Amino acid sequence: MAERRDVVIIGAGAAGMMCAIEAGRRGRRVLVLDHAKAPGEKIRISGGGRCNFTNIHAGPKNFLSANPHFCKSALARYSPRDFLDLVERHRIAWHEKTLGQLFCDNSAKDIIAMLLAEMKAVGAELRLSTAVSAVDHDGHSFRVVTENGVVEAASLVIATGGKSIPKMGATGFAYRIAEQFGLPLVETRAGLVPLTLDPATLAAHDGLPGVAVDVIARHGKTEFREAALFTHRGLSGPAILQISSYWREGEEIALHICPDVDFASVIAAARRQNGRQAMQTVLAEHMPKKLAQLLVNDLGINGSLAEQSGRSVEALIQKLRDWRMRPPGSEGYRTAEVTLGGIDTAALDSRSMAAKTVPGIYFIGEAVDVTGWLGGYNFQWAWASGHAAGQDA
């Protein structure tokens, strides 16, 4: 005999738990299944253990999707303020770090405990360490086959996330289910991911790993002003992670180093004051010494300021404004914070996240082709899309 519920949610991550709370609040009998031993593992490790749980500025412009309008409805109906109200009701202390990013003062585990308490309050049941081997639909109900038996439900919500960090149990399960039910997919790729550099560039960057600098990172017309970090494999840091979501393998990115500094004036003034100084000494007043050294070496600038030709100073200023690099690749899903692409939003109702062609099945969270910037936006999408499906499932 199969068990029966009104709603089965596969995936006890941010989106799945929010959906369970909202469906449970409507009096639906909800069961959440997850193959992991603990719920919300990505919440636990997020934001360096403090969970950047939302961004007060979150709006449709902060998301990438083949249809940039799709996310509008869900985001409008469940806002960062709504999630913050929930956080405050649970007396979880929080702070704004930068750029509207809200973090727990104490621990990301507070967010998981809050979601579990809300699920319990509405009677939503959670079953962990339960792998799902098959899903089918008999025209009336979904049958979810697990190693511990079969569960039937009128509504099935797929909240199993994307492919990032396979070591944490990411599986691509949602895409397989979408394919099984004939829903289209937008090609997936790693997003918010460090970029790699070729061996020759890395050799030239010897000594740079660990160095961080304020930049504007650009790809085409898209730009982000944050820190970039040189690593043993290439480039990371928030500015690089942000731009990586717009970049495609082999394409060029450009860095504007220390955009607040007018290097033309700085160099001209330094030359007037003391022409015997070395160029790297002047640059190093505004950036890490190792980076200043690399930049002058790269352009073959030797000797004192007074000895530099106008052309070599101009070349340096140009490089500081527009340092082009062509990363051959990224670190991939192993370290990516998110998966771009996923279930094609053309197949989903933007109000409810329900599949248009298969009544009763919903896709939410990172599995869907809606991907946020770095800075709390991806959780806001998980909450908002989970909330939208929870109102309907």
Residues that bind ligand FDA (CB under 6 A): 10-16, 33-36, 41-42, 45-47, 51-52, 131-132, 159-161, 164-165, 169, 171, 173, 337-338, 365-366, 376-379, 382
CB under 8 Å to 289, separation ≥6 — which residues? 280
Q: Looking at beta carbons only, is 34 or 214 nearer to ligand FDA?
A: 34
Answer positive or negative: Cα dihedral of 359, 361, 363, 367. negative
Specify the length of the chain in residues: 393
Q: Looking at beta carbons only, is 10 or 178 nearer to ligand FDA?
A: 10
The CB-of-140 to ligand FDA minimum distance in angstroms stands at 23
The CB-of-161 to ligand FDA minimum distance in angstroms stands at 3
Q: Looking at beta carbons only, is 25 or 127 nearer to ligand FDA?
A: 127
Q: Looking at beta carbons only, is 141 or 164 nearer to ligand FDA?
A: 164
Q: Looking at beta carbons only, is 52 or 196 nearer to ligand FDA?
A: 52
Cβ atoms within 10 A of the Cβ of 192, count? 26
Question: What does the alpha-carbon distance between residue 257 and residue 243 come to, in Å, rounded to a whole number?
Answer: 15
Torsion, CA 139, CA 145, CA 151, CA 155, rounded to 10:
-50
Question: What does the alpha-carbon distance between residue 55 and residue 380 come to, in Å, rounded to a whole number?
Answer: 7
Q: Looking at beta carbons only, is 9 or 243 nearer to ligand FDA?
A: 9
Q: Looking at beta carbons only, is 169 or 332 nearer to ligand FDA?
A: 169
Parallel, antiparallel or unpaired: strands 371-372 and 63-64: antiparallel
Angle made by CA atoms 355, 360, 362, in degrees to the nearest 5: 50
Q: Of 177, 175, 188, 167, which is closest to residue 133 (Cα–Cα)? A: 177
- Using the structure block, give the residue that is written with the tokens 């298969």: 358
Q: What are 308's two structure tokens?
A: 């530099």
**CB of 230 closer than 8 Å to CB of 210:** yes
Cβ atoms within 10 A of the Cβ of 60, count? 15
Torsion, CA 199, CA 295, CA 194, CA 377, rounded to 10:
-170
Residue number, nearest CB to ligand FDA: 13
DSSP letter string, 200-250: HHHHHTTT-TT-EEEEEEEETTEEEEEEEEE-SSEEESHHHHHHHTT--TT
The CB-of-321 to ligand FDA minimum distance in angstroms stands at 31
Q: Looking at beta carbons only, is 360 or 365 nearer to ligand FDA?
A: 365
The CB-of-74 to ligand FDA minimum distance in angstroms stands at 13
The CB-of-39 to ligand FDA minimum distance in angstroms stands at 6
3-state secondary structure of 88: helix
The CB-of-82 to ligand FDA minimum distance in angstroms stands at 15
The CB-of-38 to ligand FDA minimum distance in angstroms stands at 8
The CB-of-165 to ligand FDA minimum distance in angstroms stands at 5
- Using the structure block, give the residue that is written with the tokens 């727990």: 104
Q: Looking at beta carbons only, is 176 or 324 nearer to ligand FDA?
A: 176
Q: Looking at beta carbons only, is 214 or 366 nearer to ligand FDA?
A: 366
The CB-of-80 to ligand FDA minimum distance in angstroms stands at 11
The CB-of-191 to ligand FDA minimum distance in angstroms stands at 10
